[in-house]
Each structure stands twice: as C-alpha cells, then as structure tokens.
C-alpha cells in the first residue's frame, strides 16, 4: 500500500470533532502569542533580537534555561528546546535574523516532557512571528543540521524529575560510567554514555571508564588524534571535580586487556571490537537507501476535508511546484520537510505535524523498517525557507 493511502480523507483528525477545534484560528494565535509574550524563557531581551545558540530543558512542564557552560550536553531522560538564530543579511538587525527551532527528545524522555517541548516550540515560533524553521530531533537519529550546531556533543544517562516519572541511571555501584568518544557523520565529536560492558568497545574510538575510584582511558587502535584530544578534555573536567587517578592505555598495548576485563570480558580472546555507534546516519537504512524515493504531497482542505495527495514521485522538485494556498510534504529520503504556503488555511496549518507523523509511521509499515519513524521532520514557511531546505530539494 502506498504511504499516502489512508491519508486521503483524514476525517478522524478533523479538528471540529475534538476539543481543540480552535487550533489554528486567530483566537488560538492570539492566545499563543499572549502566552509567549509572558513566557520568561523568551523574554530576556535576547531572543529574537540577537544571533546565537539558546538551549532550554523542560522541567516540571516549565522551560528552564540550560547553563551556557553545559551547551551541547544532554540527558537521555529529558526533552530540550534549542534555538539557533543567525544573521542572513549584511547588517546585524533583528529583521535580518533567521531562526531554527529544534525540540530534542531523549530516548527515555516522558510523554509529558516531549509534549511540553513540542507545544513550547510552537509557542516560541509564535513569539518569533511564525517565521522560524521547526525541527523534531530524536536522540538516536539527529539530523546533520542539529549535529553541526555542537562541535562537542555530550549525551549522558539520567534526567530531571519532571511530570510523572524520574529517570535514574541503572549502573552497578562499582562501575560509575563508560563514555564513548567518537566522530559523528556530521564531523561533530560526540561523548556518549554507553552500557558499561566490553561489548560497547570499538577499535575506532576512545572510551573513558570510571571504576573503582580510578579513570581508565582506552584508545582504540584506529582512533583519531581529535578523539584522543576530546577524551583528554573530558578526563580533565572530571579530575578537576574529583581528584582521582587516571591511566591511559592504547589498545595496541599488551596491557589493554585490563580494561576489557574491568568491563566483564576476562576470558574474551578477540583482537577486534566493532560495537556500532549509538548515533548513526540513516543512509544504511532501507528507508533511505532508495535514492529514487523523492515524493511531494499536497495537504489541502479545499474539498471540506483534509486531503493528502501525491503531486510528484521520483522527479525533480522545484519551487514552482509549490502553491501558496496549501501545505506540502516533501520526502527526500533521509528527511521529511513540510512547506507552509503564506495563504494556507488555519486547519491546514494546524494539522501538518500530525500528518507528517502518520506518514512516517506508514513508511515504517510499508518498508518494514523501524528507522522510518526516526526520520527528521522539519517545517518552513514560504518566504522564510532555510538553507537546509533549499539543499534538500536539490538533486
């Protein structure tokens, strides 16, 4: 069944059949803008006026500024909002600023945290006059655009007590953590907390093990100088707070088996380790490997019901294919883009994200590929298209 089947007449998602029939109306926009205007997180005098990178974490349904010295550090039990504001003109004036808003969802975040992040992302867009590009980011498959924001990305286990549950990292008392330092597909250096076992090792990366009041650094035989340097920075940060011994061992040294033993591999007789990276591009997925899967769909309510129709399949997508009166979903294989026309109706603007989610779930079923639901989803508004969007429609 084609991915669009079942989306042609979305009566079950008609906003008039629910308690959210005002979503997308003038009243809804006024309420959201009023809420955004009073949200402390957006009202520090910098948001929307200055270029830079701004990060917030969702805590007890509130948007809490993330400390600047922890920019690039995330916990897998949390949800975050990231705003990247950059200048697109010659003069550093507010009207020359463009905005990318990301809501990042950790693997173990709760539904209430994720929902708050998504809602507050829309609110922040309202505060920025509706011209921002919105992105949904999932920990396991972040987009290249997101990774490029953080030359040094650090993802740890755990999370803030928020909403209905509290994430606690389940690590044996004698083993505090095992960090993997590697280069991502977007050339960012990533520090990622992994399962403290020898099966997590990989010849190409550096690992930092904190155990028995000592830090061990295991340098894979094929690791890069940049990964070694990043690991040294991480170890330095740890030892500043904790005055404990550090020992660095290269995999090619005979003694490297000590760390394998500390990770439970006392009797393991292997010379190569190849644990997959916890962050991987989707290029090897069935859902992405089909390079001909370039599809363009129109989201419209001209008939009275929301319809989802295929406009182009496997062909070159051009800006002239887009109509200001509607919303279009563009599937370019490794990501999903939604383009909102300036004259799109209120109902169309209200339902685009829900339709994008339904679409990736149907791709998952059709292709029998669980990675489909991890595809990055982003939305742009006509007249405020991002550079990443223009790159996406190029063949």
**Helix, strand or coil for residue 197?**
coil
Torsion of CA 92, 33, 297, 337, to 10 degrees: 40
Residue 12 dihedral angles phi and psi, to the nearest 5°: -65, -15
Strands in the chain per DSSP E: 52-59, 62-65, 73-75, 79-87, 97-105, 133-138, 152-156, 175-183, 189-194, 206-211, 214-219, 245-250, 295-300, 307-313, 327-331, 336-340, 377-381
pLDDT of residue 116: 87
pLDDT of residue 168: 44
pLDDT of residue 44: 85
Which one, of 74, 129, 73, lies nearest residue 101 by Cα? 129
Q: Give pLDDT tens digits along the chain (395 positions).
A: 444 444 443 332 222 232 333 344 454 555 566 676 788 889 888 999 999 999 999 998 889 999 998 999 999 999 999 999 998 866 555 568 899 999 999 988 888 888 888 888 988 998 998 889 999 998 888 888 898 899 889 999 888 764 444 444 444 445 578 999 999 877 889 999 999 999 999 999 999 999 878 999 999 999 999 999 999 999 998 888 777 899 999 999 989 989 999 998 887 778 889 998 888 765 544 445 454 568 999 999 988 899 999 999 877 888 999 999 999 999 988 789 999 999 999 888 888 888 988 898 888 887 766 777 778 889 999 988 888 888 888 75
Give me the sign of the Cα torsion angle 341, 343, 349, 355. Answer: negative
- The two beta strands, 214-219 and 295-300, are unpaired
Could you give the CA distance from residue 166 to residue 160 in angstroms, rounded to a whole number? 7
Domains in the chain, start-ordered, CATH in brackets? 1-26+281-395 (3.40.20.10), 39-163 (3.40.20.10), 175-279 (3.40.20.10)
DSSP notation for 134-154: EEEEETTS--HHHHTT-SEEE
Could you give the CA distance from residue 394 to residue 2 in angstroms, rounded to a whole number? 24
CB distance 103 to 80 below 8 Å = yes
Total length of the chain: 395
- Beta sheet of 214-219, edge-to-edge order: 73-75, 152-156, 189-194, 175-183, 206-211, 214-219, 245-250
DSSP lists the bridge partners of residue 194 as: 178
pTM of the shown model: 0.77
pLDDT of residue 239: 87
Could you give the CA distance from residue 59 to residue 163 in angstroms, rounded to a whole number? 8
DSSP notation for 238-280: HHHHS--EEEEEETTSGGGHHHHHHTT-TT---S--BPPPSS-
């Amino acid at each position: 069944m084609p991915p669009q089947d079942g989306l042609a007449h979305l009566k079950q998602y008609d906003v008039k059949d629910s308690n959210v029939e005002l979503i997308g109306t003038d009243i809804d926009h006024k309420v959201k803008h009023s809420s955004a205007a009073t949200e402390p997180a957006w009202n520090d005098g910098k948001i929307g006026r200055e270029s830079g990178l701004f990060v917030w974490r969702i805590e007890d349904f509130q948007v809490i500024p993330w400390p600047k010295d922890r920019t690039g550090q995330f916990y897998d039990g949390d949800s975050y909002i990231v705003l990247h504001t950059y200048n697109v003109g010659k003069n550093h004036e507010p009207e020359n600023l463009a905005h990318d808003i990301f809501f990042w969802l950790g693997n173990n975040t709760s539904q209430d945290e994720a929902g708050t992040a998504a809602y507050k992302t829309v609110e922040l867009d309202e505060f920025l006059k509706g011209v921002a590009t919105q992105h949904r980011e999932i920990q396991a498959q972040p987009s290249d655009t997101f990774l490029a924001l953080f030359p040094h990305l650090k993802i740890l286990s755990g999370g803030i007590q928020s909403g209905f549950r509290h994430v606690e990292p389940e690590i044996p008392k004698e083993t505090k953590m095992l960090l993997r330092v590697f280069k991502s597909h977007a050339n960012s250096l990533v520090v990622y907390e992994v399962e403290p076992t020898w099966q997590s090792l990989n010849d190409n990366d550096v690992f930092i093990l904190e155990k028995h009041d000592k830090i061990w650094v295991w340098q894979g035989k094929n690791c890069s100088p940049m990964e070694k340097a990043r690991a040294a920075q991480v170890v330095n940060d740890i030892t500043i707070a904790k005055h404990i011994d550090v020992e660095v061992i290269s995999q090619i040294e005979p003694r490297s088996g000590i760390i394998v033993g500390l990770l439970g591999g006392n009797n393991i007789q292997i010379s190569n380790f190849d644990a997959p990276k916890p962050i991987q591009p989707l290029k090897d997925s069935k859902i992405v490997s089909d390079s001909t899967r370039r599809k363009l769909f129109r989201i419209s309510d001209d008939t009275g019901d929301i319809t989802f129709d295929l406009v182009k399949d496997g062909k070159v997508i051009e800006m002239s294919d887009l109509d200001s009166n509607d919303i279009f979903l563009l599937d370019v294989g490794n990501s999903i883009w939604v383009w909102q026309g300036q004259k799109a109706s209120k109902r169309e603007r209200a339902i685009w994200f829900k339709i994008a989610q339904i679409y990736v779930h149907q791709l998952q079923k059709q292709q029998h590929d669980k990675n489909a639901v991890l595809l990055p989803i982003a939305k742009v508004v006509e007249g405020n298209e991002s550079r990443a969007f223009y790159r996406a429609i190029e063949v």
